[in-house]
Amino acid sequence: MARLPPLNALKCFEAAARGNSFSKAADELHVTQSAVSHQIRQLEEWFGVALFDRQGRQTLPTPEGVELAASMAEAFGIIGAACQRIAKSDGKAALTIAAIPSIATIWLIPRLPVFMRQHPEINVRLMHAIYDHPVDFEDVDLAISYGDWDDAPAHATKFLEGVSVPVCNPAYLNQMGPFEKPADLLKCCLLHDLDRRPWSRWFRAAGVKLDDPQPGPLFEGFNLLHSAMLAGQGVGLAPTAILADDLKSGRLIRLFATEVLHEKAYYISEPASPRLSRASEVKIFKEWLLEEVMTD
Domain range 93-161+265-295, CATH architecture: 3-Layer(aba) Sandwich (3.40)
Give the residue with greater pLDDT, 234 vs 177: 234
Return d(Cα 177, Cα 173) in angstroms, integer.
5
pLDDT per residue as tens digits for the range 220-276: 888 899 999 999 999 999 999 999 889 989 999 999 999 998 999 999 988 877 677
Give the pLDDT confidence score for residue 296 in this predicted structure: 66
Let me know: does 113 contact 67? Beta carbons within 8 Å.
no
Residue-wise pLDDT for 151-167, tens only, equals 888 888 998 999 999 99
Give pLDDT, residue 258. 93
Which pLDDT score is estimated for 23? 86
Average model confidence (pLDDT) for the chain?
Answer: 85
Strands 264-269 and 142-148 turn out to be: antiparallel
Query: Which residue, 101, 139, 108, 111, is CA-closest to 226?
Result: 101
DSSP one-letter string for 281-295: HHHHHHHHHHHHHHH
Pick the CATH number of 7-88 from 3.40.50.10490, 2.40.30.10, 1.10.10.10, 3.30.390.30: 1.10.10.10
pTM for the full model?
0.65
pLDDT above 70 (res 205): yes
Asked: is 164-261 a CATH 3.40.50.720 domain? The reply is: no
Distance CA 256, CA 182 (A): 7
| Contact call for residues 108 and 99 (beta carbons, < 8 A) | yes
| E strand map for 100-215 | 122-128, 142-148, 157-161, 164-168, 190-193
Q: Report how far residue 141's alpha carbon sits from residue 281's, in angstroms, rounded to the nearest whole number.
A: 9
